[in-house]
Amino acid sequence: MSTPPRRIAHLDMDAFYASVDLLRYPELRGRPLVIGGSSAQQPVLLADGRRRFARLRDYVGRGVVTTATYEARALGVSSAMGIMMAARLAPEAILLPVDFPAYRHYSRLFKTAVAGIAPDCEDRGIDEIYLDLSRLAGDSRPLAQRIKDAVRQATGLSCSIGVAPNKLLAKIASDLDKPDGLTILGADDVRQRIWPLPVRKINGIGPKASERLALLGIERIGQLAEADAGVLRQHFGRSYGAWLLAAAKGIDERPLITAAEPKSVSRETTFERDLHPRDDRETLSAVLVGLCCKLADDLQRKRCRGRTIGVKLRFADFRVVTRDLTLALATDTAAEILRASRECLRRVPLEQRLRLLGVRVSALAAAATADTPRLPQQGELELRERDRQR
């Protein structure tokens, strides 16, 4: 039997945190609502049974908006904005504290509902998933509608779905008609529907890259698709330059990562401003320690250990360098990951400012079996090292 054409869906919940909170406080429906306060913004139950909610205009502090309802977005409020800034735009909007246990609960509910229809799923975080619909029966639109209905029935919440030949296009598609959207994109639609969009709509082109592209006169995806490969390589490095061009053409072959067993875990941070290896040494060191602690925590939660530790650096000119080394024994401790990462970093010429720092642990095994020491293989002493430069 020939393999069916790829049909990948991206599902993203609408104004997720805010929508979950509206289930509990339906009286707030239709009003601008911002999520991001702390316990001080907890609603107060009045003697007559009504609730008194905090207003943005009364907020003082350094908190940021995690999300806002579409009514609040219409006033200019957006995720990651300081709450005091949001208060200038929407002083009358209601402010609620975050309630992570509730969001996690509804996240599980919607994912379980979706899995009942489309079990091939890549979990991308609290409110988004990719689905492989390729082997399911039925046309994409009714299938996606059934998934939306199942999500609503299980949670009372709406989501937006994009269906396309790959993850990159599906992710753009799910955002095209938010909220409560359902967008089907074929390879033939790229020119008409994707090329007019700003380059920022491509997942993987952040504010810095789009700023740089704008300096080259490239603002729309279509302009990027027609850009000169050599110029892109020169400005963004070989791998990122080639990726930019392929992405703009709607090409993306990445498979869904559906396996429950991870092959590697990684954490990375893009800095708000590019950091200098010497002048910002302390900041970088603190970031590295933070990444290693998070990784150790990830490994311990997944009950696995890894033998290969790698670092990834992206320089100001977008060049990416990775270094890794393989330990004699698998580890899941922050201290060992940190030691190995520092070892890797010593092998990178640090002459330029850094945009990004990442650490990866691979060659994972379940913690129970990872305990047994392996006999060193031929040519492998304490550390086997593989340097790669992309």
Residues in contact with ligand DCP by CB under 6 A are 12-17, 66-67, 79-80, 126-127, 178-179
Among 19, 20, 16, which Cα is nearest to 174's? 16
Q: Are residues 229 and 166 in contact, defined by beta-carbon separation less than 8 angstroms?
A: no
Candidates 10-18, 204-212, 291-299, 334-342: pick the segment binding Mg ion (CB under 5 A).
10-18
Distance CA 276, CA 337 (A): 23
Residue whose CB is less far from ligand DCP, 10 or 305: 10
**Contact with Mg ion (CB under 5 A) among 16, 106, 195, 318:** 16
- Minimum gap (Å) between residue 37 Cβ and ligand DCP: 13
Provide the Cα torsion 189, 195, 196, 202; round to 10°: 110
Residue whose CB is less far from Mg ion, 16 or 243: 16
| Residue 18 touches Mg ion, criterion: CB under 5 A | no
Catalytic residue (one of 27, 71, 122, 128):
128
**Using CB distances below 5 to 8 A depending on partner kind, what does residue 67 bind out of ligand DCP, Mg ion, none?**
ligand DCP
Length of the chain: 390
Per-residue DSSP letters for 205-227?
--HHHHHHHHHTT--BHHHHHTS
Per-residue burial over 358-380, b if 16 or more Cβ lie within 10 Å, else e, is bbbbbbbeeeeebeeeeeeeeee
Q: Is 12 annotated as a binding residue?
A: yes
Q: Is 27 a catalytic residue?
A: no
| Residue 21 touches Mg ion, criterion: CB under 5 A | no
- Minimum gap (Å) between residue 18 Cβ and ligand DCP: 6
**Using CB distances below 5 to 8 A depending on partner kind, what does residue 332 bind out of Mg ion, ligand DCP, none?**
none
Distance CA 39, CA 314 (A): 38
**Using CB distances below 5 to 8 A depending on partner kind, what does residue 66 bind out of ligand DCP, Mg ion, none?**
ligand DCP
Tracing tokens 């100001």 back to the chain, one arrives at: 316
Candidates 122-130, 197-205, 297-305, 365-373: pick the segment binding Mg ion (CB under 5 A).
122-130
- Minimum gap (Å) between residue 8 Cβ and ligand DCP: 18
Q: Are residues 331 and 269 in contact, defined by beta-carbon separation less than 8 angstroms?
A: no
Which helix (DSSP H) or strand (DSSP E) does residue 265 occupy? strand 264-275
CA-CA-CA-CA torsion sign (282, 288, 292, 298): positive
Q: Is 99 annotated as a binding residue?
A: no
- Minimum gap (Å) between residue 219 Cβ and ligand DCP: 22
Residues flagged as binding site: 12, 127
Residue ranges binding Mg ion (CB under 5 A): 12-13, 16, 127
Residues flagged as binding site for Mg(2+): 12, 127
Residues annotated as catalytic (active site), given as ranges: 128
